[in-house]
Chains A and B, each alone.
Chain A
């Protein structure tokens, strides 16, 4: 089942982070806290080479993401390279930069599906999370995607401020003709961890949302609804990225090849750059890729755990953030000696209190100046 470091499994998915630029400032942005320090090092032709090499490795899907990928003027060319490499080209966007003509151009170049982020079902609270007025523009973008016969995937990060509106979000997804609605409970990394108390929901909120999802699933088959309990409440960790460097390749805007979009924030790991080496080498041989591949790195309680083949020990970034050690068991797991940090956060989340102030993406750097 688990491959040794020298024989990684076939990757299926390429996450192409084209840029960290973004007009939104979401309080749970998954880009690194120091995103502004990284330059965009890959041109469209470089991305084309990355896509062809990824396809040769077995990759089927490419997610063009960011930041906001539509901030790049050469996006149509990049899409054409993805389609030319026989990859399923999927755009992950906030939907505020392209009009219908711009999307139609991407469609012509081979784009097949669009994942549009929504922050809420309502403009007021949605724009509050995004740190800018974006909601109305996003709804127009959803209509454009459907009008152009592309698959529309809606992605909403759920947290304590919007969980109560899951029924409205589902109704909105139906109305917009979405193929799939991803109700993604907030992952507490990076900016979101900075805002944990403002974002972490209570168990009651989650259970109410889960009931609304179950009800909607009984009523209709489309849109497909994705809803997974956040790991803070699951007592077992999520199989983060489907296992470290196992199924997914992330290429960051600067060309570094990573097992996940946050891995570069872990100390002491050496990753290689797709500008300098073949993608296959960066994937297979970079020391950072092999640091947590397979099971040899695991300690107790993971090493002897029968569930390790399912959850791969959880999330390395969460272990580092909460336990101070990336090789520790994910503290979301009830078997972790550091599980107390998660329990304490849960307890705080159970208390009733007014919405907390948000720290927006970009704000940390502004304060440091």
Chain B
């Protein structure tokens, strides 16, 4: 039994109320003003990767529709992000934000220091759209229904708590307060019109839930990067034939020399970002050492340690606007 349109819409909005990332601890801390400059930078650098995936996702959606009218409307989203001329559009505005928070434009645009967990989350979104039909893909985009509010909250929070970010940097958010509700109402109308069967409606709700999960895990990765890992007190480090094993209840994590170095730095004082940067600077000069690779490997290993229960990560206390995160080398 399918739901009447109003109830179906309510079900979609309920997903947002329960799972949209405005409730994520990282966003809550951003909006209450307790993020350090380094955490803001990590977020801006990584969220840019998400921005770059949006036009790819929208291109895939265009290719799923045989309706010129739909495509004419939907292509606007690509224009919004890419601009109609070089130097315009949402991606450009995001790079301006990056500069405003003290990052190098080229470094951010290169995507070299995107966290592996963020890459995985954003790629999962593109893959979702690739492997699903038009209806589910449009339904997944309906997080835009909830984006207008979060943009307004964010602008106010930045003006109040992070005055070191100049107004030029906030233009992306301001643009989205207009674009997101317009996009959302188009997308919502399409989904309400097309999803008539119970199965289709359930697929739409599930697609929106999946999208919320993706946004949530993006922030999980960003939050983890700024948090300080500490080896759990019950871990047993065991040497065996040149390898180190971190032995834990029910499992053991095998590691090598650079893993041992990471473990030695898990002292509860350094953030994951700082540990990764330390490894990269130690590797500097070594033949064939690619700093981006070293940084990514360190984050992957820290994520593995956390999943295994070998480390716990606590958010670091804000270091104030004076202290910056380490700039990746």
Asked whether B238 is an interface residue with its Cβ less than 8 Å from the other chain, the reply is: yes
**Contact across chains for A60 and B245 when beta carbons are under 8 A apart:** yes
Contact partner of B249 among A149, A151, A221, A222, CB < 8 A?
Answer: A151
Please determine whether A61 and B238 come into contact, CB atoms closer than 8 angstroms: no
**Does B248 interact with chain A (Cβ within 8 Å)?**
yes
What residues on A are CB-neighbors of B86 within 8 Å?
A: none
Asked if B234 contacts A149 (CB within 8 A), the reply is yes
A60 and B233 contacting across the interface, CB-CB below 8 Å: no
| B15 lies within 8 A of chain A by Cβ | no
Contact between chains at B233 and A180 (CB < 8 Å)? no
**Interface assignment of A93: CB less than 8 Å from any CB of chain B:** no
Decide if A218 is an interface residue (CB 8 Å cutoff).
yes
B248 contacts across to A, CB distance below 8 A: 88, 113, 151
B247 near A224: Cβ-Cβ < 8 Å: no
Across the interface, do B234 and A60 meet the contact criterion of CB distance under 8 Å?
A: no
Q: How far is the CA of A221 from the CA of B245 in the complex (A)?
A: 23
CB neighbours (8 Å) of A90 from chain B are 249
Q: List, in ascending order, chain B residues with CB within 8 A of A150's CB.
A: 233-234
> Out of A61, A115, A149, A153, which one reaches B233, CB within 8 Å?
A149
Given A60-B245, A60-B247, A61-B247: A151 and B234 within 8 A (CB)? yes
> Judging by beta carbons under 8 Å apart, are A61 and B250 in contact?
yes
Shortest beta-carbon distance from A113 to chain B in Å: 4
Interface string of A134-163 (1 = CB under 8 A from B): 000000000000000111010000000000
What separation, in Å, do the CA atoms of A149 and B248 have in the docked complex?
Answer: 13
By the criterion CB–CB under 8 Å, are B252 and A179 in contact?
A: no
Q: Total number of A-B contacts with CB less than 8 angstroms?
A: 45
Interface membership of A112, Cβ < 8 A? yes
- In the assembled complex, A86 has its CB within 8 A of some CB on chain B: yes
* Docked-complex contact B252 and A60, CB < 8 angstroms: yes
Cβ of B259 under 8 Å from chain A:
no
How many chain B residues sit at the interface, stated as a range, is: 10 to 19
Q: How large is the interface on A (under 10, 10 to 19, 20 to 34, 35 or more residues)?
A: 10 to 19
Point out the residues of chain A lying under 8 angstroms from B306, CB to CB: 221
B247 partner residues in chain A, CB cutoff 8 A: 60-61, 88
Residues of A within 8 A of B200 (CB): none
Report the bound CA distance from A179 to B252 in whole Å: 15
- What is the CA–CA distance of A197 and B5 in the complex, to the nearest angstrom? 47
A interface footprint on B82-97 (CB within 8 Å = 1, 0 otherwise): 0000000000000000
Name the A residues within 8 Å of B236 (CB-CB): 86, 88, 112
User: Does B232 sit within 8 A of A, measured CB to CB?
Assistant: yes
Candidates A61, A86, A218, A221; contact of B213 at CB < 8 Å: A218
Using CB atoms, name the residue of chain B closest to A180.
Answer: B249
Q: Given the complex, which residues of B lie within 8 Å of A112, measured CB to CB?
A: 234-236, 249
Chain B neighbourhood of A151, CB < 8 A: 232, 234, 248-249, 309
* A247 CB to nearest B CB, Å: 12
With the chains together, A224 CA to B308 CA distance in Å? 9
B238 partner, pick from A86, A218, A222, A224, beta carbons under 8 A:
A86
Encode B234-263 as 1/0 by CB contact (under 8 A) with A. 111010000001011110100000000000
- With A112-B234, A180-B249 given, can you name 4 additional A-B contacts, CB distance below 8 Å? A151-B248, A180-B250, A218-B213, A221-B306
Q: List 25 A-B contacts (CB under 8 A).
A: A60-B238, A60-B245, A60-B247, A61-B247, A61-B249, A61-B252, A86-B236, A86-B238, A88-B247, A88-B248, A112-B234, A112-B236, A113-B234, A113-B248, A115-B249, A149-B234, A151-B248, A151-B309, A153-B249, A153-B250, A179-B309, A180-B249, A180-B250, A221-B306, A224-B309
Give the top 4 A-B pairs by smallest Cβ distance, nearest first: A112-B234, A113-B249, A88-B247, A149-B233
